[in-house]
């Protein structure tokens, strides 16, 4: 009971932190989205969960805003005010949503946050155009909202982050046609695809707050390690998550034969369950939802789930150890790291 109460407290603190951050960045993001021409504006508002497909105002299907919260937490950790970093937080969220829209197109995922994905509602070409527009909007937010030379550095970092995300996505797609993937292969992919943006969020927050280079580097390490842990959490949810929470069918990643970390760990084991899972993954027969449920049990039996959870905890220990001991206010960063741990459980 005490463990459950402690977990509830941490989860509550994390949600409060995300809500406070959203209160700061969402109005500015709405302003940025409203600057887009139609039909891009309506598509973007729908994707962000602000309206339905007909344009009527709603409040559903919006994301957590974790990456924007990391920007504010990094700035607060070095003693800066939130207003200083709001443009960076908005840019990070815009870039993140650009990647989500394109990711849905590439993966063929028809649902996003419990609603039809943009490409499913409007079309693939339209979704690609929207993703490109959000990427451009992220750059404009930085150039309009930050002073030079800070704006130039922020844009350069955002650009390099976008390239690394694309590299990670290419690696992830390539994994679907490879029989053998190592844990190191996976970590390299996850670092590029997911963790780099969280590292960038911490860097922009720290640099906008005028942190020294050593602190910026330390916070980047923190963000990237938390990012790997969050990707692992998504992997676990992609196999065992509740569709009411994930907005996607049960075992969706297994149906696509995705090489997520639980699967990678399981396939590298020398057990009967691992061998059966390997035969299933190499078969040309489509994986049905029923077969996916059996595959999930094989992954767990081969140690994939527990191994993934342990690796996520390892990443979070590295993240917390990277925080400089003399940070004025590191509590928000620690809370966000704890959220990563809770998502896995």
Res 62: pLDDT: 73
| C-alpha to C-alpha distance for 105 and 102, rounded to whole angstroms | 5
Report the C-alpha gap between 158 and 166 in whole angstroms. Answer: 12
Mean pLDDT of 84-105: 98
pLDDT given for residue 2 in this prediction: 47
Q: What's the pLDDT band for 252 if we cut at 50, 70, 90?
A: confident
Dist. CA 70–CA 21, nearest whole Å: 9
Query: CA nearest 128: which of 99, 91, 150, 167?
Result: 99
Write the DSSP assignment of 224-259 as a string of letters. HHHHHHHHHHHHHHHHH--HHHHSS-TTHHHHTT--
Q: Model confidence at 1, in pLDDT bands (50, 70, 90)?
A: very low
- Answer yes or no: are the C-beta atoms of 299 and 202 closer than 8 Å: no
Alpha carbons 116 and 247: distance in angstroms, whole number = 10
Helix ranges restricted to H, the chain: 2-34, 40-47, 66-77, 86-107, 118-122, 124-145, 150-175, 183-190, 196-208, 213-240, 243-246, 252-255, 261-267, 272-282, 289-301, 304-322, 331-343
At 250 the pLDDT is: 73
**Over residues 326-342, mean pLDDT:** 90
The pLDDT value recorded for residue 61 is 59
Domain 14-63+83-178 class?
mainly alpha
Instruction: Provide the mean pLDDT of the chain.
Output: 94
Does 341 score more than 90 pLDDT? Answer: no
The owner of tokens 């800070």 is 150
Q: Which residues pair with 116 in a beta bridge?
A: 111
pLDDT in tens, 13-49: 999 999 999 999 999 999 999 999 999 999 999 999 9
Confidence of residue 316 (pLDDT cuts 50, 70, 90): very high
Question: Residues 291-314: what's their mean pLDDT?
Answer: 97
What pLDDT is stored for residue 287 in this prediction?
A: 94
Q: What is the mean pLDDT of residues 191-199?
A: 98
Cβ contacts of 1 within 8 Å, gap of 6 or more: none
For residue 344, how many C-alpha atoms fall within 13 Å in the half-sphere facing its CB?
26
Domain boundaries, the chain: 14-63+83-178
Q: How confident is the model at residue 4 (pLDDT cuts 50, 70, 90)?
A: low
pLDDT at 93 over 70: yes
Pairing label, strands 111-112, 115-116: antiparallel
């Amino acid at each position: 009971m005490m463990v459950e109460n402690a977990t509830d407290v941490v989860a509550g603190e994390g949600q409060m932190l995300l809500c406070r951050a959203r209160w700061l960045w969402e109005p500015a993001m709405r302003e940025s989205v409203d600057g887009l021409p139609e039909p891009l504006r309506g598509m973007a508002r729908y994707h962000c969960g602000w309206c339905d497909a007909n344009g009527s105002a709603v409040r559903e299907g919006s994301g957590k805003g974790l990456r924007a919260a990391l920007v504010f937490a990094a700035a607060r950790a070095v003693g800066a005010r939130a207003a200083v970093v709001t443009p960076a937080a908005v840019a990070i969220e815009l870039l993140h949503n650009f990647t989500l829209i394109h990711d849905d197109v590439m993966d063929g995922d028809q649902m996003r946050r419990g609603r039809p994905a943009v490409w499913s509602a409007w079309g693939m070409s339209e979704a690609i155009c929207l993703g490109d527009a959000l990427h451009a909007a992220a750059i404009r937010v930085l150039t309009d909202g930050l002073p030079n030379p800070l704006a130039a550095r922020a844009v350069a970092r955002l650009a390099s982050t976008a390239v690394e995300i694309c590299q990670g996505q290419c690696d992830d797609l390539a994994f679907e046609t490879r029989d053998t993937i190592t844990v190191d292969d996976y970590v390299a992919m996850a670092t590029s695809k997911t963790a780099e943006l969280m590292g960038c969020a911490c860097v922009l927050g720290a640099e906008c707050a005028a942190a020294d280079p050593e602190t910026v580097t330390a916070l980047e390490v923190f963000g990237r390690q938390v990012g790997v842990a969050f990707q692992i959490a998504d992997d676990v949810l992609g196999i065992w998550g509740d569709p009411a929470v994930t907005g996607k069918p049960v075992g969706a990643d297994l149906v696509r034969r995705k090489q997520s970390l639980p699967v990678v760990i399981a396939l590298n084991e020398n057990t009967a369950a691992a061998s059966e899972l390997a035969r299933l993954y190499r078969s040309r027969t489509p994986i049905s939802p029923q077969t996916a449920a059996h595959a999930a049990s094989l992954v767990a039996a081969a140690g994939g789930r527990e191994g993934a959870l342990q690796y996520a905890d390892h990443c979070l220990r590295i993240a917390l150890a990277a925080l400089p001991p003399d940070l004025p206010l590191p509590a928000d960063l620690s809370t966000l790291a704890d959220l990563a741990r809770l998502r896995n459980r």
